[in-house]
Amino acid sequence: MKILFTSVGRRVELIQAFRSAAKRLAVDITIIGADLVTDAPALYFCDEHLQVVRISDPLYIPNLVEYCAENKIDCLIPTIDTDLNLLAINKHKFEAVGTKVLISAVDKVKLCRDKNYTADYFISLGLKSPRPVNSVEKFEEAMMQGQVSFPAFIKPKDGSSSIDAYKVNNLEDLNVYAQKIGDYIIQPFISGREYTIDIFGDYEGNPVFITPRERLAVRSGEVLKTRITQDHKMIEEMKVLCADFKPCGQITVQLIREESTGDDYYIEINPRFGGGAPLSIKAGADSAEAVIRMLLGQSLSYSEGAARDGAIYSRFDQSICINP
């Protein structure tokens, strides 16, 4: 079985999860890591490397499709935001050469990438979401009408990893950050605990695992410490989302549980393996194993509370020499 990860970067733990699942299932696996650069650390944990052109290059998709066809790749798994739209749009080209792509439908991927759409989507499902505005002027207007107040949260419209995401306490600062970011959104700041929910759906979009994790410590938007929290309310809310979103492969959903009301405010959806996904996998919601089973033709069913409730995972740095 051959699995290709695009933009494999630093996803060492994810690669390891697939390798150990394959071993457990006694499946012969070849893991191919694709990246723009040749020195990404995760490449050193793959069986084969594929150097690709920039995602913005018109040859990105044709080259990938050709590679998948020639090398009989069973499955392509994206790991970063920037190629998700492209892969969703071109999914059929990969399927035509026998390669499954773990990506959700085009319209769903699109709404994840633009945070203006994401909030509306959550609200359309009956979930709460801090509705963003896309200019300081609109935030001021809403403020004068008593709809919003400081603190506010400003971040790039299509950003990720909390890069350039700031909590702001007044209009002066808001203007500084707005200028700095360029294409931004402003949301009311929600005070409470932050959670990530790792969801794995089969190729038809039926949920297999729904794993809420509290983000206990974060660095640069990536989780350093997390606690599996089998919260019934969140899980039910995500079942509502899954029924419409039809997640294909792994997606992660981020939310804040507001501290005074206990309401869940949903912030974003990333339709890919999130950086912390290996933590849910290690805790028992083994989506690496699920992918392999799916490719073996096994049908999967929903597994309630697969990850061990209360398990705490903590992350640390490891390094590898990439020109040994």
Minimum CB separation of residue 48 from a second copy in Å reads 19
Site for a second copy contains 81 (CB under 8 A):
no
Q: Dig out the tokens for 207 from the structure.
A: 């949920």
Site for a second copy contains 172 (CB under 8 A):
yes
Binding residue for a second copy, selected from 1, 199, 279, 288, defined by CB under 8 A = 279
- The nearer residue to a second copy, 301 or 316, going by C-beta atoms, is 316
| Residue 22 one-letter amino acid | A
260: helix, strand or coil: coil
* Region of 47-55, 98-106, 196-204, 217-225 interacting with a second copy (CB under 8 A): 217-225
- The nearer residue to a second copy, 1 or 277, going by C-beta atoms, is 277
Residue ranges in 71-218 assigned as alpha helix (H): 84-89, 91-96, 106-113, 115-124, 136-144, 171-181
Site for a second copy contains 261 (CB under 8 A):
no
Q: Are 18 and 64 in contact (CB under 8 A)?
A: no
The number of residues that bind a second copy (CB under 8 A) is 36
DSSP states of 24-64:
HTT---EEEEEESSS--GGGGGSSEEEE---TTSTTHHHHH
Q: Which of residues 181-200 bind a second copy (CB under 8 A)?
A: none
- The nearer residue to a second copy, 62 or 310, going by C-beta atoms, is 310
* Region of 22-30, 201-209, 218-226, 255-263 interacting with a second copy (CB under 8 A): 218-226
Site for a second copy contains 171 (CB under 8 A):
no
Site for a second copy contains 42 (CB under 8 A):
yes
Minimum CB separation of residue 200 from a second copy in Å reads 18
| CA 170 to chain centroid | 31
Binding residue for a second copy, selected from 34, 198, 278, 292, defined by CB under 8 A = 278
Q: What single-letter DSSP state applies at residue 105?
A: -
d(Cα 156, Cα 84) in Å, to the nearest integer?
Answer: 17
Q: How far is CA 196 from CA 18, 41, 119, 130, in A?
A: 21, 25, 16, 16
Site for a second copy contains 240 (CB under 8 A):
no
- The nearer residue to a second copy, 145 or 319, going by C-beta atoms, is 319
Binding residue for a second copy, selected from 111, 282, 286, 293, defined by CB under 8 A = 282
d(Cα 5, Cα 236) in Å, to the nearest integer?
Answer: 31
Q: Dig out the tokens for 164 from the structure.
A: 């350039």
For 161-182, letters b (16+ CB in 10 Å) and e give eeeebbebeeeebbeebbeebe
Site for a second copy contains 51 (CB under 8 A):
no
Site for a second copy contains 69 (CB under 8 A):
no
- The nearer residue to a second copy, 301 or 323, going by C-beta atoms, is 323
Site for a second copy contains 313 (CB under 8 A):
yes
Q: Which of residues 5-34 bind a second copy (CB under 8 A)?
A: 10-13
Q: How far apart are the first and last CA of the chain?
A: 29
Q: Where does this chain bind a second copy (CB under 8 A)?
A: 10-13, 39-42, 172-173, 176, 180, 219-220, 222, 224-225, 275, 278-279, 282-283, 310-323
